[in-house]
Chain A
Amino acid sequence: MASSQVNGPVRAVHSPAGWGLSLGRLFTQHPIVSRMVSLGLFFLIWEIAGRVPISYAFPTFLETLSAFVTMLLDGSLFAAYGSTLQPLIIGIAISGAVGVTLGIVMGLSRTAEWLVAPLFIVLQSAPMAALIPLITFVYGIGLAAKTLAVIMLALPVIVLNGYKAVRNANPSLVAMCYSFQGTKLQQIAKIIIPDASPVIFAGLRLGLAAGFIGVILAELLITPTGIGDLITYHRSVANYAEMYAAVVSIILVSTLTLAALEAFEMRVLRPEKRRG
């Protein structure tokens, strides 16, 4: 028990998704064999289900794979991703800058907390997707609309993580800084923000996951571009293999990105958790 208590009582704060989100550990803890077996089994079932076929609109795994390779080679996937990732990156950058700042301010000031926290608590548990159709009225169907969709879904979780991380900064470390006569500014810069940074970063990661949902939703609902358009288009011409390939590719891209971020988080920001 003592070794897990690096700094006093176990911290109450963990990412809003609980201990669940462990894509990073996925790639380190489980032996590679069982992962391969699991993946292989899934693809096998997919292939069999496609050959039966369970539905006219259910391509086999191999058809989907070959469609994926074709789309990769003819460049249509790359073009689509260019259009999808751009608003995602801009949106996350804006949400990150605004959200982390707001979260830190809320964590430090009781008044800001009182005023702003409930708003974001509502926004985080509410289905913000309902508001996406509104965006078109103001921002049309261009880059701005997609970026706004990303921000709407990503901002609440980033703000709330930053706020909780700062609010729950290890009180023992704060007392330590105070006992060595650290100023309020030193306390914030040298203790609170470093202590909060892993959770803030986790918020950015969760924000990105929400942003992926937002950008795809915007592309499916309001602006026919990027991966969303690829999905809609191939569906409309009944190219189901291509459609499935596009869907799988976006899940793959988001999973790999999030896993890489979580691995980074574990390695760089939480060295004390690496062994446990």
Chain B
Amino acid sequence: MTLYGYRVPMMASLLVWCVIWELVGQSGLMFLVPPLSAVLVAGYSMVQTSTWQAAAMITLHSFAIGMGLAIVVGVSLGVLMGRFKAVDELFSIWVNIFVSAPLSALVPVLMILFGMGETTVIVTVFLFAVWIIVLDTRAGIQHVPKSLIEMGRSYGASTFALYGKIVLLAALPEILAGIRLGLVRGVKGVVIGQLLVAIIGYGELFELYSRSFDMENFWALTIILFAAAMLMSAAIEHIEKKVDYYAGVR
């Protein structure tokens, strides 16, 4: 949008929403919505407590391990599916089912299989994130032009070099897009996992604050979570833009 000839950046409108939040909070009409300023103050003191720091560490830890596994497994499986028809036929039905299935229903099963602890949350993150990474990687690999692979072969590239120097790099834009979407899903996974397990990390704090009607801390928790999710996604998008120039031209 332009205002008096100046281009107002799109995300600036979030400030408008913050003001509206503050006004609604000040009016006291909804007890669920305390003023934003109060939330920020609560958040500032919350992040200094050891409870929050411990919860954040546990959450980050489960998220990082789950995501790491999802990226390694997702990219490998995606490459295999993209290059080998047999692997593709064996897995495509499952990948396509799980990428859009309500995985929240699976979490109770994970809870009895892996216990009420961090393992369940890690597996939840993995299951939420991995499928979209597989699909995008597979699509990226399949879009690598045949001529590029033939070029590598004709210049005598070993299989290792062919994958490392040509196939994976050529598919990088799609792989990164998959990882970004996977991250977004992984954040949802870590939250859903912890909420359902309810005794660890952020889930425990959410449970605690919502039960005790401590709305300032609840919203502070939410804002930090949302901001972390947005920042992560923006960071990957930034890397994506760097390779974007050849996404269209290959």
Contacts and interface: CB of A to CB of B under 8 A. Distances in A.
Nearest to B17: A119
A250 B108 CA distance: 13
B32 A254 contact: no
Contacts of B96: 21-23, 26
B136 A20 contact: yes
B197 to A, nearest CB: 11
B105 A247 contact: yes
Interface residues of B, number: 61
B108 A232 contact: yes
Given A18-B136, A20-B139, A133 B94 contact: no
Nearest to B97: A255
A18 B177 contact: yes
A3 B38 CA distance: 59
Interface stretch (B50-58, B85-93, B147-155): B85-93
B126 interface: no
A166 interface: no
B100 A127 contact: no
B233 A125 contact: yes
B97 A251 contact: yes
B113 interface: yes
A185 interface: no
B109 interface: yes
A257 B172 CA distance: 33
Contact of A122 (B16, B93, B226): B226
B45 interface: no
Contact of B100 (A23, A118, A119, A243): A23
Contacts of A250: 102, 105
Interface in B33-56: none
A216 B102 contact: yes
A34 B1 CA distance: 52
Contacts of A127: 187-188, 190-192, 225-226, 229
Interface stretch (B5-13, B65-73, B162-170): B5-13
Interface string A117-132: 1110010011111111
20 contacts: A17-B132, A18-B135, A20-B132, A20-B178, A23-B96, A26-B96, A30-B92, A37-B90, A38-B92, A111-B1, A113-B1, A114-B8, A116-B13, A126-B187, A130-B191, A209-B100, A216-B102, A220-B105, A221-B196, A240-B112
Q: Which 5 A-B pairs have CB atoms at the shortest separation, nearest pair first?
A: A20-B135, A114-B1, A34-B89, A212-B102, A127-B191
Interface of B: 1, 8, 10-14, 16-17, 32, 89-94, 96-97, 99-109, 112-113, 131-132, 135-136, 139, 174, 177-178, 181, 184, 187-188, 190-192, 195-196, 202, 206-207, 210, 213, 218, 221-222, 225-226, 229-230, 233
Given A213-B192, A251-B102, 13 more contacts: A20-B178, A23-B100, A114-B10, A116-B13, A122-B230, A125-B184, A126-B229, A127-B192, A132-B195, A137-B213, A246-B105, A250-B105, A254-B102
